[in-house]
Amino acid sequence: MVGKPAPPFVFHSVHKRSFPSLNFDGKTLVLVFIRAGQPEIQLLLREIEKMHRDPAFTAVQIVVLAPERDPLTEPFWIGLRNNLDLALDYTDVASRYGAGSLPLVVVRDFRNTVRLRLDGFVGKDLYPRLAAVRKVIKEAEAFRARPGSSTP
């Protein structure tokens, strides 16, 4: 999957409006697939929100996706205390990225190429995996900003 084109998808906003992945063309996109009630989800989302506030990541789009049919999703997002965009996965986007376990983070660059697919954001692996995500996003943004990189 890494190094290959990202699969197209559609997700719902929490207000049930549909958004196609085409809306993010030309931008670095970070997808954070979660399931409400998982250990350390709040910590993971706080850390990703901090990353998003970093001036180096202002152009990066970050979307947190939770399963729409999961009865825990709605109470979770109602009580969520961060500013990340939350989307509802009703077309099983996570499986298109080969999600075996959640949470899963996918980084897609501005050319729609998957640059990173990483799961296992739990326990002692949380911070090293976040460092890997940060590194890949910085590389993708540096590549996007280089002169001539926008042409295929």
* Of 13-17, 24-28, 111-115, minimum mean pLDDT range: 13-17
Mean pLDDT, residues 53-59: 88
Taking alpha carbons only, the member of 30, 43, 66 closest to residue 123 is 43
Instruction: Quote the pLDDT of residue 149.
Output: 62
Using the predicted structure, report yes or no on whether residue 43 has a pLDDT greater than 70: yes
* Paired tokens of 95: 């499986």
Sign of the Cα pseudo-torsion (95, 42, 50, 15, in order): positive
Instruction: Quote the pLDDT of residue 118.
Output: 92
Using the predicted structure, report yes or no on whether residue 151 has a pLDDT greater than 70: no
Q: What is the pLDDT of residues 74-125, one digit of tens each?
A: 777 777 777 888 888 888 888 888 887 789 999 999 999 999 999 988 888 8
Using the predicted structure, report yes or no on whether residue 1 has a pLDDT greater than 90: no
Taking CA atoms, 19 is separated from 10, 115, 137, 145, in Å, by: 5, 22, 23, 26
* Domains of the chain (ranges, CATH numbers): 10-15+35-145 (3.40.30.10)
Q: Could you give the percent of the chain with pLDDT greater than 70?
A: 97
Q: What pTM value is reported for the model?
A: 0.89
Give the DSSP H/E element, type plus range, for residue 150: none
